[in-house]
Amino acid sequence: MEDTDKTRLSPFPKIELHVHLEATVRPERLLEIAKRNGFDLPADTPEGIRDLYRFRDFNHFIQVWILTTNALRTTEDFSQVVVDYAGEAARHGAVYLEGIFSPIERTWRGVGWDELFAGYCDGAQEALETHGVEVRLTPDITRGAPVEDGFELVRRATKYRDRGIVGIGLGGEEALYPPEKFTEVFELVREEGFASVPHAGEVVGAASVRGALDALHADRIRHGIRALEDPALVEELAERRVVLDVTPVSNLRTGVVDSLSEHPLPELIAAGIPCTVSTDDPEMFDTDLTREYDAAMSLAVDPKALYEAAVEGALCGEETRERLRRTGESYDWSGLAVGAREGRA
């Protein structure tokens, strides 16, 4: 895997619905945060952190995730993460973001719930003021956590509903913890007016997607690409217009697909399922929004269709949705060379 300086840009309008904010922290910023928090990292240079980030296998990825996210401890840290990534995404044309964060693991290590939520919400407000990018937030319940921790996350999120918390997700080790474990938690999610946006159908097959739909009443599916293993499920997703958050480079890095040319994104779209494109874990998977769209366009996927699906799937109010719709309608998409690019993965 070749690291990127992330200097190549394709600034046509983009909407990103699936990015783990903890995995957006640039090495230089991680070193700065760790230093002010007195947290020891196994490397003390940006080059060393980049080598640490370099994806080897999924177990290594989890180890790096735990190590680096433990450095984030204060409201200032969480806010800074959001503002930094909004600026980075804006360079690639992002006009709207939905950021994921995983608070449960942080609370296990002594960080307060309010520090977490207030920090990310402060960052979302500052991101709009500084970079003009609207950011909404969708905290993930950790699959390996006790069910009571899921209930606590939802209860805490209600305090910040008016500050940009719009949905609740489910993330972590999909193969070990099926969605049904959190059925009752997601009943509370719905009662509190949040959208249900679980990860499903990435490393586990169509049964995971079915569980997310039936047990968690998913409004949108993060990943979902293995739904193709069940034709009836594909038909249902298309009929219900369930938007999938697709992350091509991430799927390649983690071995969910063997090669970019084999990625199921075109087949999903051809089946009538609305799909979007996102970075997932950009720093740890050496990707960015330009690279993701290059990958999708190399598969002859129309970026305008991706944008329109994202408008449809965004967890925003109608005023924002109409603004995003107008942004897409006013852009001349005809100049983009779909199918002519190399997927730079």
Average pLDDT estimate for 33-60: 92
Contacts of 181 (CB under 8 A, 6+ apart): 143, 147
Q: How far apart are CA 87 and CA 62, in angstroms?
A: 26
- Indicate if the alpha-carbon torsion angle 332, 335, 340, 344 is positive or negative: negative
- Contact indicator for 217, 248 with CB cutoff of 8 Å: no
Average pLDDT estimate for 204-210: 96
Digit-coded pLDDT (tens) for 137-185: 999 999 999 999 999 999 999 999 999 999 999 999 899 999 999 999 9
Q: Which residues are catalytic?
A: 202
pLDDT at 204 over 60: yes
In which order are the strands placed within the sheet that holds 140-142?
140-142, 167-171, 195-196
Digit-coded pLDDT (tens) for 213-260: 999 999 999 999 999 999 999 999 999 999 999 999 999 999 999 999
Digit-coded pLDDT (tens) for 83-121: 999 999 999 999 999 999 999 999 999 999 999 999 999
Task: Name the token pair of 51.
Answer: 């080598």
pLDDT at 2: 42
pLDDT at 343: 44
Q: How far apart are CA 51 and CA 43, in angstroms?
A: 9
Q: How far apart are CA 245 and CA 121, in angstroms?
A: 22
If DSSP codes are grouped into helix, strand and coil, which group holds residue 286?
coil
Which of 38-42, 122-126, 283-287, 337-341 bottoms out in mean pLDDT, i.e. has the lowest?
A: 337-341
Q: What residues are paired with 20 via a beta bridge?
A: 100
pLDDT at 208 over 80: yes
DSSP state of 76: H
pTM above 0.85, yes or no: yes
Angle between helices 113-131 and 75-91 (to 10 degrees): 30
DSSP symbols for 172-222: S-TTTS-GGGGHHHHHHHHHTTPEE--EESSSS-HHHHHHHHHTT--SEEE
pLDDT at 62 over 90: no
pLDDT at 139: 98
Q: What residues are paired with 100 via a beta bridge?
A: 20
Which of 1-10, 38-47, 270-279 bottoms out in mean pLDDT, i.e. has the lowest?
A: 1-10
Instruction: Tell me the pairing of strands 220-223 and 94-100.
Output: unpaired
Task: Name the token pair of 195.
Answer: 């959208």
Q: How far apart are CA 189 and CA 183, in angstroms?
A: 10
Model confidence at 279, pLDDT cuts 50, 70, 90, reads very high
Give residue 232's identity as a one-letter amino acid code.
Answer: A
pLDDT at 90: 96
pLDDT at 318: 96
In 3-state terms the chain splits into helix, strand, coil percentages (rounded to 5) of: 50, 10, 35
Task: Name the token pair of 252.
Answer: 């390649």
Give residue 280's identity as a one-letter amino acid code.
Answer: D
